[in-house]
Structure 1
Amino acid sequence: FRGVPVADQCSCSRDKIRGILEGFSAEEIKDSTEDGGIHVACEFCSTQYDFDPAEFAAE
């Protein structure tokens, strides 16, 4: 087999995390809220993403 290059690079982004949270139900958003916000940390690169739960309120 031929070798392939390996890159130590994370593909997380605020938009990707937002897309996941937009799929949550209102109850899941409520359950994910802690200290007035939703806080998500990437386990690969340790980037912290903070969101206001109101961003995901049902329209």
Structure 2
Amino acid sequence: QHAQADKVVDEWLEYTVDWVYSLRTRTDNLRAEMQVLLKHNKEIRHMELPVESNSA
């Protein structure tokens, strides 16, 4: 009885650790994507600026 309870706890812990790890990985990926997008937007804005100043 006690051994089975330990097994359940072990499985639950393993599952929780996997879930937390995958969640953290997903968050890191999202953060990296956001940084790439922000950097890309800055470059686009930087390229657009001279065009706007020329047309003004």
> Whose RCO is larger (CA < 8 A, sep 6+)?
1
Tell me, yes or no, whether TM beats 0.5.
Answer: no
Structure showing the higher strand proportion among its residues:
1
Q: Normalising by structure 1, what TM-score?
A: 0.22
Question: If the length of structure 2 is used for normalisation, what is the TM-score?
Answer: 0.23
As a proportion of its length, which structure holds more helix? 2
> Who wins on radius of gyration, i.e. which is larger?
2
